[in-house]
């Protein structure tokens, strides 16, 4: 483990140099890793582990689109693809990668197969942090560990295929075997993490829920809609409004930020853009800070978790979700976006 300085604060991190793939393979050479759930995170993590030489099996209900996807990805029925109960029985490490709501529903089944010495792996701290609400309380004789890629399973897989990595956090909630740390880091390296930084289950879920509702998704969508609507109200065309709001951000500026930081992006823009950005950064920060404070308070109080549990466990959840997504998809802004994307060179 290395100690790195981040903005003057020291943190524990693990890199590929100090924990290479060969070491990860050695740590997990006698393990059977069962990925339970083949939806959002499951495919990326399972495929990366398989391609890196680990013994991976899938536990997925059939018939389902996820089962069919696993077959299409090369997992073989009765060899590396099983119904969940069969996979759980074979596993020494259970990667519990179902949605939070589905984890609650399936927990009574998973419990039966958590025999002494096994490891229960998560990529989100939700189920354990809010255990009084979820009922997910592991037995004392298993390792309970976490590696959480900081991005979607699709991004994890794409970067892996490009020879890159997606940074991940790691946490150990329970070390029953004395091998929890090595198991956790080996899995993190195996799934293709760029580097791993230390956290706790609680901090992971607090930061994750805040980030998803904030800058990463909720705030981003809201700010985009606000600017687009103002431009349209003032007579700008849909194409102009979308390009100035979304296209320039996603196709140019955010990539400059990712390369070398916000200051470097500013330095590579016009002086007029620099001045305006620096002048308006503060008012925007001050305007949204109270919203972020309210958001974090609701996450910490468990209100956001309970809302997710209540809504996602409803029988008609998928129908309601599709309706909300349809409204976004069919809005003028994102219809304009569809047209803009179709005009990109190479499309």
Per-residue pLDDT at 66:
97
Per-residue pLDDT at 281:
97
So which residues are the catalytic ones? 124
CATH architecture of the domain formed by 2-199? 3-Layer(aba) Sandwich (3.40)
Predicted TM-score (pTM) above 0.85: yes
What is the DSSP secondary structure assignment for residue 331, as one 8-state letter? S
Residue 229: which residues within 8 A CB-CB, separation 6 or more?
none
β-bridge pairing 2-6 and 81-82: unpaired
- Give bridge partners of residue 77 from the DSSP assignment: 81
pLDDT digits (tens, 9 = 90+) for 111-159: 999 999 999 999 999 999 999 999 999 999 999 999 999 999 999 999 9
| Distance set, CA 125 to CA 52, 187, 205, 341 (Å) | 25, 16, 5, 36
Residues of the chain below pLDDT 50: none
Rounded Cα distance between 258 and 279, Å, is 22
Query: Is residue 81 helix, strand or coil?
Result: strand
DSSP string, 215-239: TTTHHHHHHHHHHHHHHHHTT--HH
Per-residue pLDDT at 210:
98
Q: In the chain, list all ranges with CATH 3.40.50.720.
A: 2-199
Per-residue pLDDT at 158:
96
Query: Is residue 140 helix, strand or coil?
Result: coil
Per-residue pLDDT at 347:
65
pLDDT digits (tens, 9 = 90+) for 262-275: 999 999 999 999 99
Rounded Cα distance between 148 and 197, Å, is 10
């Amino acid at each position: 483990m290395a100690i790195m300085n981040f903005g003057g604060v020291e943190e524990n991190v693990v890199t590929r140099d100090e924990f290479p793939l060969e070491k990860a393979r050695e740590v997990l050479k006698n393990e059977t890793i069962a990925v339970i759930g083949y939806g959002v995170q499951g495919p990326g993590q399972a495929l990366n582990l398989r391609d890196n030489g680990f013994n991976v099996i899938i536990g997925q209900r059939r018939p389902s689109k996820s089962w069919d996807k696993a077959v299409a990805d090369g997992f073989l029925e009765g060899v590396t693809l099983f119904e969940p109960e069969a996979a759980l029985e074979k596993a020494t490490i259970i990667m519990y990668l179902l949605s939070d709501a589905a984890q609650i529903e399936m927990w009574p089944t998973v419990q039966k197969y958590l025999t002494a010495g096994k490891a229960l792996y998560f990529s989100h701290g939700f189920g354990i942090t809010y255990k009084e609400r979820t009922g997910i309380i592991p037995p004392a004789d298993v390792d309970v560990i976490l590696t959480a890629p900081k991005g979607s399973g699709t991004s994890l897989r794409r970067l892996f295929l490009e020879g890159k990595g997606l940074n991940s956090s790691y946490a150990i909630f329970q070390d029953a075997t004395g091998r929890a740390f090595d198991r956790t880091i080996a899995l993190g390296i195996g799934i293709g993490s760029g580097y791993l930084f230390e956290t706790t289950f609680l901090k992971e879920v607090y930061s994750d829920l805040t980030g998803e509702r904030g800058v990463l998704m909720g705030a981003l969508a809201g700010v985009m809609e606000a600017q687009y609507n103002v431009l349209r109200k003032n007579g700008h065309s849909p194409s102009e409004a979308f390009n100035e709001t979304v296209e320039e951000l996603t196709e140019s500026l955010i990539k400059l930020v990712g390369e070398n930081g916000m200051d470097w992006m500013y330095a590579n823009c016009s002086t007029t853009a620099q001045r305006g950005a620096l002048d308006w950064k503060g008012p925007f920060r001050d305007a949204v800070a109270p919203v972020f404070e309210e958001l974090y308070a609701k996450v910490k109080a468990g209100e956001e978790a309970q809302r997710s549990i209540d809504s996602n466990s409803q029988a008609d959840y998928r129908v309601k979700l599709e309706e909300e997504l349809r409204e976004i998809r069919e809005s003028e802004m994102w219809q304009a976006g569809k047209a803009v994307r179709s005009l990109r060179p190479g499309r």
